[in-house]
Structure 1
Amino acid sequence: MDADPDSETEAQWENITLPPGIEWSGRARYGAAMYFYACGEMDVQTLEVYRYLARLDAEEPADVLRRYRVGDSWLEKLARRSR
């Protein structure tokens, strides 16, 4: 039986939008970022920010992306998703 790709995508959205401060949230966000990168939804620079932050549970990736001025298209997707 094949997994529903929409449910997998939804689960990854839940992971990538975990709030900062939750134990292991950085690793969960990075795992989700790898999923979105593999699907062509995220560029390599954005993935690298999530990789770097994987062990920093208290950091908000969107803030770091803005600070380094990378990931504009990903930030737009996050903004659309939060509406």
Structure 2
Amino acid sequence: MSDEQDDEAEAAEQWELVNTPLGEKWSGRTRYAAAMFFYKRGEMTAETLEVYRICARLDSENPLPIVSDRGAGKDWLKRMGFK
């Protein structure tokens, strides 16, 4: 497997993790860890990552409405299909 394929596989896995269903045990922390991956790749703003950090201990809290309310992460919200 090439480095590019490895990167794509890792991104696909992190995408699944950032979309972990709300309410599952440790799901907030899982989403935050995946969000850090996308932040490090330059695909998420620091302000958006901060919302995921705040929500990390709140497994039932959807970070997307908070990101939207703060007027941050418009590209991320679009990518997540949030309206």
TM-score in terms of structure 1 length: 0.88
Does residue 67 of structure 1 match 2:69? yes
Paired letter, 1:36? F
Residues in 1 aligned to 2:77 and 2:56: alpha-carbon distance in whole angstroms = 18
Structure (1 or 2) with the greater helix fraction: 1
Aligned-pair Cα RMSD in Å = 1.7
Is there any run of 5+ residues in structure 2 with no aligned partner, and where? none
Distance 1:64 1:57 in 2: 14
Q: Give 2:46's aligned residue.
A: 44
Counterpart Cα distance in 1 of 2:72 and 2:44: 11
Structure 1 unaligned regions, length at least 5: none
Report sequence identity in percent: 47
**Number of residue pairs matched?**
80
Letter in 2 for 1:69: G
Give the Cα–Cα distance (whole angstroms) in 1 for the partners of residues 22 and 77 of structure 2.
16
| Counterpart contact for 1:19–1:60, Cα < 8 Å | no
Q: Distance in 2 between matches of 1:20 and 1:63?
A: 13
The question of 1:34 aligning with 2:31 is answered no
Where 2:56 maps in the other structure, the secondary structure is helix
Runs of 4+ in 1 over 2 A off after TM superposition: none
AA aligned opposite 1:71: G
Contact (CA 8 Å) 1:49, 1:61: kept in 2 or not?
yes
Shift of 1:79: 1.4
1:10 and 1:45 mapped to 2: Cα distance?
23
